[in-house]
Copies of this chain bind each other. A is one copy, B any other.
Amino acid sequence: MRHFISMFDWTPAELAELIALARRFKSGRATAEVERLAGRILTMVFFNPSLRTRTSFEAAMLRYGGHAITLSVGGDTWQLEHRDGLVMDGPAAEHVREAVPVLCRYGDLLAVRTFAGLKDAAEDAADPVIRAFGRFATQPVINMESAFEHPCQGLADWLTVEEKCGGVRGKRFVVTWAPQVKGLPMAVPNSAVLSLAAAGAHVTLAHPPGYELGPRVLEQARAWCRAGGAAFAVTDDQQAACRGADAVYVKSWGRPALYGKPDAQRESFAQHRDWMVTPGHLGPKTILMHCLPVRRNVVIADAALDDPRCVVVDQAENRMWVQAAVLSTLVGDAAGAARS
């Protein structure tokens, strides 16, 4: 049985297989894999609100005869503890050691969304909540965005570049930081960089000094680019990076040194307002990407979002197709493991 918690646990070749399967789902040619989802129950546990993730996962199950059960931790249900050895006399009434195996008895797959704490970068990088789910689950666990990664978004990004740029290998993919109104996690840029590196694109990461991604992501992305014969670069020159890009992926994230200091974080954003992406950042054939939700005229200007080069809706649609591929693959893998 296998989880889809982290891209670090999958090889580029395996990720490419997921993309190929997603394309078959999208074009209606995934017969055997489609049948695997019929009658299956996906239990989705949300520690944070969601629009696209919730709807695209539920739609992926429903379209192929499966079902989805949605739980909001702290909303429909109580808070869950994941740390070991505590005297649980605080707000959390249940431990994942009980909750996770129980949920695995009712459904066939377990998907989890949990955001970064944004207090301690090292703790966020360890991704403790989703890792605890993985440790105690007896069914496949899918990452619907965790503190450190958003691998389903990363797959959707890969598929979108492949479709819109006529292939992905050797294409110039730029991930650029943009300002925000509050500190946000790095899960999305982490996964975008990893995914397109695994895909064989030339990857450039652009951000102001101080907004570095963690070393684990940078090393893995550099290694995958090198193995695929592609370049990997980091720069603080946004304009130069975007010039000539096949795809510009915009995303805001917080400055790790300012975690827990919202006022200082906002000041830092304010100093980089000119990183907001406009049509001027895009070449004539450059596609504009963003994972959504996007704050208009803060992160990206109206004129860029309303431009035909903007593919954010197609990118969001691809969430559904890559997730169908992931769900089907994990169910098939779990069934294979049960037989052997």
A59 in contact (CB, < 8 A): yes
A264 in contact (CB, < 8 A): no
Residue of B nearest to A302 (CB): B85
A54 in contact (CB, < 8 A): yes
**Measured between alpha carbons, how far is A107 from B181 in the docked complex, in Å?**
31
Please report which residues of chain A, range 289-340, place their CB below 8 angstroms from some CB of chain B when the two chains form the complex. 292-298, 302, 305-306, 312-313, 316-317, 320
A11 in contact (CB, < 8 A): no
Distance of A10 from chain B, by nearest CB (Å): 25
Instruction: Verify A320–B105 contact, CB threshold 8 A.
Output: yes
A77 in contact (CB, < 8 A): yes
Binding site for B on A (CB under 8 A): 39, 41, 43, 46, 49-52, 54-56, 58-59, 62-63, 67, 69-72, 75-78, 81, 84-89, 93-95, 97-99, 101-103, 105-107, 181, 292-298, 302, 305-306, 312-313, 316-317, 320
Question: Of the candidates B55, B81, B99, B106, which one forms a contact with A69 in the assembled complex, judged by CB atoms under 8 Å apart?
Answer: B55
Question: Of the candidates B43, B67, B94, B101, which one forms a contact with A294 in the assembled complex, judged by CB atoms under 8 Å apart?
Answer: B94
Instruction: Verify A59–B298 contact, CB threshold 8 A.
Output: no
Instruction: Verify A87–B297 contact, CB threshold 8 A.
Output: yes
Instruction: Verify B75–A106 contact, CB threshold 8 A.
Output: no
Question: Of the candidates B75, B84, B107, B294, which one forms a contact with A55 in the assembled complex, judged by CB atoms under 8 Å apart?
Answer: B107
